[in-house]
Amino acid sequence: MKILFLDQSGKLGGAELSLTDLAKPYRHHCLVGLFADGTFRELLEHQQIPVQVLTTEPIRVKKDSGIFQSLESMNSLVPLIIKVTQIARDYQLIYANTQKALVVGAFASLFSHRPLVYHLHDILSPDHFSLTNRRIAVTLTNRLASLVITNSQATQTAFIAAGGRSELTKVVYNGFELNSYKTQANDPNHIRKKLGLDGQFIVGHFSRLSPWKGQHILLEALTQCSPEVSAILVGDALFGEQNYVQHLHQQVAELGLKERVQFLGFRSDIVPLMKACDLIAHTSTAPEPFGRVIVEAMLCERPIVAAAGGGVIELIEAEKTGWLFSPNNSPQLAQIITTCRNQPERAATMARQAQSQASQRFNLNTVNQQIAQLLDRVIFTQSLN
């Protein structure tokens, strides 16, 4: 099966990590086309997955863009669509992994007569996208896509509520390479000492620094916890959100948390850092499409607390495989952090149950087999037409 994968980002996010895992089995028969250069290209090359940066012209459309901004972007889209159409003729299928990739891939599908698959990693709701962008995504998908893979039931429900055709959709959760989370190469205690947090109860937050990811909620909760509770924030701003990073540093200073909060920036040693934490917090203020960090924490056998919304409630069985709290509710989050700290045996039991369930539900080999069957069906159907 020859697949042309498309992704708008040069930076690494959850959708890009998922695409990397998906493309590995096809590395001898695929091409990943990117609309920007960056660390994502470097990762693909490291994994020996063919990759090509298809344009150096930025597509000036944001999630909150209106109709006029979207129309203005056509000057940069037309040459890209022509280029992707030409490339697509050498492949059996176009696989769009992001919304801008959907726009380009949809027109390339139309002109090249290759089937289009859209992997939807976002919740199409007013919390995340403008009305214009939602309408564009739904219209192009309904008319030109053969299949929409959604990463959760919440993502599927939002797509249908926005006008998407339900018969196009299939829910396939993200897959994870289980062996990557079993490494014991780094001693957690050594990492804790290196961070200067030996003897502290460490709450880890692993996400890009963004208002809707809710790092400020965790900081508010820390003020209501014992002084022996500290936090590490792993990640940095990605999409022009540097003002929020400054806000977080200011919040830390104003709340007197300088000795209890560390900003670690982007890190490649995520698994060792997670294993050094006593609790992983996921604090999104708006519904999360999936929640990759949640599954990673489970596979690292770390207790997890997460804001209840979107795909998160499909991942965590409350009080059995993790804790849920109401979004934006810092007092409730603080109470759960305190409970986890005061009841280590209960927390450890929940973490073991979560690790067992996650290993069965999110095995990358199983997920890739599911997607391969869906893609085979799309190509077979296309051959009959």
pLDDT at 184: 61
- Report the candidate in 78, 69, 64, 150 with the shortest Cα–Cα distance to residue 111: 78
- pLDDT given for residue 71 in this prediction: 47
Q: Looking at residue 60, what is its pLDDT?
A: 60
Specify the CATH architecture of the domain 178-361.
Answer: 3-Layer(aba) Sandwich (3.40)
Return the amino acid letter for 187.
Answer: D
CATH number for domain 3-175+363-384, candidates 3.10.129.10, 3.90.320.10, 3.40.50.1100, 3.40.50.2000: 3.40.50.2000
Quote the pLDDT of residue 182. 83
Q: Nearest to residue 170, comparing CAs of 138, 199, 146, 200?
A: 146
- pLDDT of 138: 96
User: 99-112 vs 131-144: helix axis angle to the nearest 10?
Assistant: 30
pTM value is 0.90
Distance of CA 338 to the CA centre of its chain: 28
Q: How far apart are CA 137 and CA 128, in angstroms?
A: 13
The confidence score (pLDDT) of residue 64 equals 52
Among candidate residues 364, 370, 44, the one with its CA nearest the CA of residue 178: 364
Same fold, 3-175+363-384 and 178-361: yes
CA distance 204 to 199: 15
Q: How far is CA 285 from CA 257, 280, 289, 308, 309, in A?
A: 22, 16, 12, 9, 9
pLDDT of residue 350: 98
DSSP H helical segments within 209-343, as ranges?
215-222, 242-254, 270-275, 292-299, 312-315, 330-342
* Domain map (residue ranges) of the chain: 3-175+363-384, 178-361
Mean pLDDT split into 10-residue runs, the chain, 385 residues:
95 93 95 96 96 84 51 73 97 96 97 97 89 93 97 97 97 95 77 93 96 97 97 88 94 96 93 96 96 97 97 96 98 98 97 97 96 95 79
